[in-house]
Amino acid sequence: MDELHKNGRDPIDEESKNRDLDTFREDAEGTYLTTNQGLRINHTDDSLKAGERGPTLMEDFHFREKMTHFDHERIPERVVHARGAGAHGYFQVYESMAKVTRAKFLQDPSVKTPVFVRFSTVVGSRGSADTVRDARGFATKFYTEEGNFDLVGNNIPVFFIQDAIKFPDLVHAIKPEPHHEMPQASAAHDTFWDFISLMPESMHMIMWVLSDRAIPRSFSMMEGFGVHTFRFVNEAGKARFVKFHWKPLNGVHSLVWDEAQKLAGKDPDWLRRDLWESIEMGNYPEFELGVQIVEEEDELVFDFDLLDATKIIPEELVPVQRIGKMVLNRNPDNFFAETEQVAFHPGHVVPGIDFTNDPLLQGRLFSYLDTQLIRLGGPNFAEIPINRPVVQVHNNQRDGYMRQTINRGRTSYFPNSLGGGCPMMAPHEMGGYVHYAERVDGHKIRTRSESFKDHFSQATLFWKSLTPPEQEHLVQAAHFELGKVETKAIRQRMLELFHQVDPDLAIQVAAGIGVPAPGKDAPVMKRHKKGISVDRSPALSMEQGPADSIAGRRVAILAADGFNHAEVMAVRSALHEAGAQTEIVSKFLGSLQSESGEAIEVDKNFIITASIMYDAIFVPGGDESVALLKKQGDALHFVNEAFKHCKPVGAMSEGVALLMEANIEGVIFAGPQTEEELVSNKGVVTSRNGTGSPQFVQSFIDAIAAHRHWDRETKERVPA
């Protein structure tokens, strides 16, 4: 740290990147309009003309500058992960990890390292919808006191392909088809499934993409994974393998497919809005950084190859240690300057973190630097404020488009004597990066290791580890995706691959796509057990994960004039206390009068919102309010649709009558109708006498924490 102070820099702490960005921030308040040269402008509504009705003059420098800048406003969007949303925050380690890594930001629990995170979809263009079925990018830039470390991960722990050389093929197959540029942001078309049906190595990732993981409820409710095996190296130079994980403290939750599709129309910005609003309201998304550590001598003990990015290390074999926490607490000031211009690169590492020979990772190490050169217009993109490390940069790189640094002195080479030998080499003890001295010895060959060739065991593991509702959703997703494939032979080939994962899965998929499954007795490739593995991994199932928080959830309160004020207030304050957000939804905007005379502001009306934009709904009592709602088709649809999407529905006193009026009476009471005051059944929580009883609130909170209630056998009968 002392070294840094000598450079006249502030110490590195949570705020250091913020201070760094301050140098570049610009507020318009109290300023006069000027040209880029600082000349004040007194008129910007008319161009300079020769006469009132005459031609525009070339000498109108203000017009030309304004128009030229506008003409050049766009930069190429990212070839993948074009659509994203960013947030600032900090990371703090729980206790020193010195035993396994010398990375400085993982040593001192009192240090808050600034971070910038960008979440993204992969396939869609910048303007596409947020809720499409896709992997999500989860890229984190740690501005550490040893330089930037980028953890460029996804919300799925494996990838489609094993070798980076296949990436252009994969992306060409999944992007919109080249002749008509359709479909946008979707895998559900022939070229993608054509490619996949010929690439058995993709089957594990395909299972994840068809699962509910690919339609996350919120960026704050998804896991993140570094995917590749990396290396941790400690001060003594001892290396261990490491896999990185992010574990969200809001739980891991998804949308349902029908909801995701409707959201794409109703609010294509659903995920970025959720992130933005959560941070604005102080509900900061939090993630714990997890690591799975494998000793070097255990490299070959598993049934899979650690270098194969289509494989996970099951958490039941190597537990995930949670080593620190990231808090996202500040929205960017400017989308383009920060979220669009941020440049991630898996090759941005710090001492103590190193690579392995995973051929997918190795290829990425080339691609990310290369892509920034075209996207950000040249080799000086590291000087863009969001990309600058919080430590000083000194090297002999010079010039190029948009160079910002004014390097003084005569020398830009090494060794030199005229510049005092500077910038000089940093020895190991001064933080100099030393590559791990892995011994490598081999023939030059274009081939795939035998140890990479089991493409199905972990796809089967994933399938077997899901709960029945999760399996059902996966099959329905396959029905949708393959149903959109026009070429029957592709559907047929996919069934053969599903059969290799599990014959029963193939039969279930076949039932929806009009081609026969190979059948239960058709041969399945033999899998040779070579090392340690598991048959089930509960950690792969979202349904079996923790469901103890309602932080970040949104609850609609359906009301009309004459609602019961005490009930709304009791439920509202308890939900807010637990970190959820509530909105009063009614037929019109404006304010409502309660039965006891209090006024309450309506947040959204039925035209601008819908049940799909909430995680749960609550209907308070109040005779008049409920009588009005019962007559409103929109209100009934709201309840029905939420019910169909398996969301918690709560109602108090007269509010229960609205549920009765909707088509969900089957679950309002547990079994035969009872006179019990409080009933909580399959996520429908009713309190017949109301009065805001704390038991009601607790049951409703528990139902929201569980997120979705898949056991609603009547949901298929609900017309929403």
Catalytic residue ranges: 81, 154
- Does 133 contact ligand HDE by CB under 6 A? no
- How far separated are the first and last CA of the chain, in Å rounded? 61
- Does 125 contact ligand HDE by CB under 6 A? no
The stretch among 366-374, 427-435, 618-626, 634-642 that binds ligand HDE (CB under 6 A) is 366-374
CA–CA gap between residue 503 and residue 160 (Å, rounded): 21
Tell the smallest beta-carbon distance from residue 351 to ligand HDE (Å): 22
Residues 344, 452, 456, 606: which binds ligand HDE (CB under 6 A)?
344
> Nearer to ligand HDE by C-beta: 364 or 647?
364
- Does 364 contact ligand HDE by CB under 6 A? yes
Q: How many residues bind to ligand HDE according to rule CB under 6 A?
A: 24
- Does 164 contact ligand HDE by CB under 6 A? yes
Of 400, 394, 401, 397, residue with least CA distance to 413 = 397
> Nearer to ligand HDE by C-beta: 386 or 649?
386
Residues 334, 367, 397, 693: which binds ligand HDE (CB under 6 A)?
367
Tell the smallest beta-carbon distance from residue 75 to ligand HDE (Å): 12
CA–CA gap between residue 23 and residue 311 (Å, rounded): 44
CA–CA gap between residue 645 and residue 613 (Å, rounded): 11
> Nearer to ligand HDE by C-beta: 167 or 462?
167
Residues 16, 140, 154, 331: which binds ligand HDE (CB under 6 A)?
154
Q: By Cβ distance, which residue is nearest to ligand HDE? A: 137
Residues 139, 209, 506, 658: which binds ligand HDE (CB under 6 A)?
139
Mapped onto helix, strand or coil, the DSSP state of residue 41 is: coil
Label residues 492-520 b or e (16+ Cβ within 10 Å = b). Answer: bbbbebbbbbbbebbbbbbeebeeebbee
> Nearer to ligand HDE by C-beta: 118 or 213?
118
Tell the smallest beta-carbon distance from residue 300 to ligand HDE (Å): 23
> Nearer to ligand HDE by C-beta: 291 or 557?
291
- Does 216 contact ligand HDE by CB under 6 A? no
Q: Are strands 604-605 and 581-586 parallel, antiparallel or unpaired?
A: parallel
Label residues 551-560 b or e (16+ Cβ within 10 Å = b). Answer: bbbbbbbbbb
Q: Which residues contact 43 (CB under 8 A, 6 or more apart)?
A: none
- Does 565 contact ligand HDE by CB under 6 A? no
- HEC letters along 616-665: EEEECCCHHHHHHHHCCHHHHHHHHHHHHCCCCEEEEHHHHHHHHHCCCH
Of 629, 571, 617, 566, residue with least CA distance to 594 = 566
Mapped onto helix, strand or coil, the DSSP state of residue 416 is: coil
CA–CA gap between residue 575 and residue 361 (Å, rounded): 44
**Alpha carbon distances (Å) from 281 to 521, 545, 719:** 56, 26, 35
Give the H or E element holding residue 500: helix 488-501
Cβ contact 105:113 at 8 Å:
yes
Tell the smallest beta-carbon distance from residue 263 to ligand HDE (Å): 22
> Nearer to ligand HDE by C-beta: 164 or 271?
164
67 to 96: interface string for ligand HDE, x by CB under 6 A: -----------xxxx--x------------
- Does 149 contact ligand HDE by CB under 6 A? no
**Alpha carbon distances (Å) from 683 to 303, 571, 584, 669, 700:** 41, 16, 21, 11, 8
Token output for 308: 């194969």
Cβ contact 600:620 at 8 Å:
no
> Nearer to ligand HDE by C-beta: 164 or 612?
164
Tell the smallest beta-carbon distance from residue 389 to ligand HDE (Å): 17
Tell the smallest beta-carbon distance from residue 81 to ligand HDE (Å): 3
> Nearer to ligand HDE by C-beta: 81 or 553?
81
Residues 12, 132, 152, 384: which binds ligand HDE (CB under 6 A)?
152
> Nearer to ligand HDE by C-beta: 289 or 592?
289
- Does 153 contact ligand HDE by CB under 6 A? yes
- Does 227 contact ligand HDE by CB under 6 A? yes
**Alpha carbon distances (Å) from 544 to 462, 537, 549:** 13, 10, 14
Q: Are strands 136-144 and 113-121 parallel, antiparallel or unpaired?
A: antiparallel
Site for ligand HDE in 368-427 (CB under 6 A): 368, 371
**Alpha carbon distances (Å) from 648 to 407, 506, 565:** 61, 33, 21
294 to 323: interface string for ligand HDE, x by CB under 6 A: ---------------x--------------
Positions touching ligand HDE (CB under 6 A) are 78-81, 84, 118, 120, 137, 139, 152-154, 159, 164, 167, 227, 309, 344, 360, 363-364, 367-368, 371
